[in-house]
A and B are shown apart, each in its own frame.
Chain A
Amino acid sequence: MSAKAGFSGFLRQDGRKGIRNTILVVYLVECAHHVAREIVYPYRKQGVHLIGFGGCYPNQYAYDMMARLCTHPNTGGALLVSLGCESFDRRGLAERIAESGRPVETLVIQERGGTLSTVEQGQAWLGETLAGLEESTPRVNMAVEDLVVGAICGGSDATSGITANPAIGRCFDLLVENDAKAIFEEGGELIGCEGVMAERAVTQELGEEILATMEKTARYYTTMGHGSFAVGNADGGLSTVEEKSMGAYAKSGSSPISGLIKPGDVPPSGGLYLLDIVPDGGARFGFPNINDNAEIAELIACGAHMTLFSTGRGSVVGSAISPVIKVCANPDTFRRMAGDMDVDAGRILEGRATLDEVGEEIFSQVLAVAGGAPTKSESLGHQEFVLTYKTFEPIGPACLPV
Chain B
Amino acid sequence: MAEEQNGLLLRIADVDNVYVLLRPITAGTVLQFGGRETAYENALELGHKIAARDIAAGEKIIKYGAPIGSATRDIRAGEHVHVHNIKSDYIPTYTLDSVTE
Task: List residues of A whose CB falls within 8 A of some B CB.
Answer: 157-159, 161-162, 188, 191-193, 196, 218, 221-222, 226-227, 229, 231, 234-243, 246-247, 250, 312, 330, 332, 349, 351
Contact = CB atoms under 8 A, between A and B. Distances in A.
A192 B68 contact: yes
B91 A241 contact: yes
Which of A196, A250, A349 has the most CB atoms of chain B within a 10 A radius of its CB?
A: A349
A169 to B, nearest CB: 12
Contacts of B61: 239, 243
Contacts of B94: 226-227, 229, 231
A349 B66 CA distance: 21
Contacts of B20: 158, 162, 237
B96 interface: yes
A237 B99 contact: no
A334 to B, nearest CB: 13
Contacts of B88: 227, 239-242
B86 A239 contact: yes
Interface in B15-71: 20-22, 45-49, 61, 63-64, 66-69
B18 to A, nearest CB: 10
B5 interface: no
A196 B64 CA distance: 12
Given A231-B99, A241-B91, A246-B64, A236 B82 contact: no
Contacts of B49: 158, 237, 239
B81 interface: yes
Contacts of B22: 349
B87 interface: yes
Given A192-B66, A193-B66, 17 more contacts: A158-B49, A162-B20, A188-B91, A218-B90, A226-B91, A226-B94, A227-B93, A234-B82, A237-B45, A237-B49, A239-B68, A243-B61, A243-B63, A246-B68, A247-B64, A330-B46, A349-B22
B12 to A, nearest CB: 7
Contact of B69 (A235, A239, A330, A332): A239
A239 B82 contact: yes
Contacts of B86: 239-240
Contacts of B67: 192, 242
Nearest to B64: A246
B95 A234 contact: yes
Closest 9 CB pairs of A and B: A158-B47, A227-B91, A243-B68, A240-B88, A237-B47, A237-B48, A240-B69, A246-B64, A159-B47
B101 to A, nearest CB: 11
Contact of A239 (B46, B83, B91, B96): B83
Contacts of B68: 192, 239-240, 242-243, 246
A191 B47 contact: no
Contacts of A332: 46
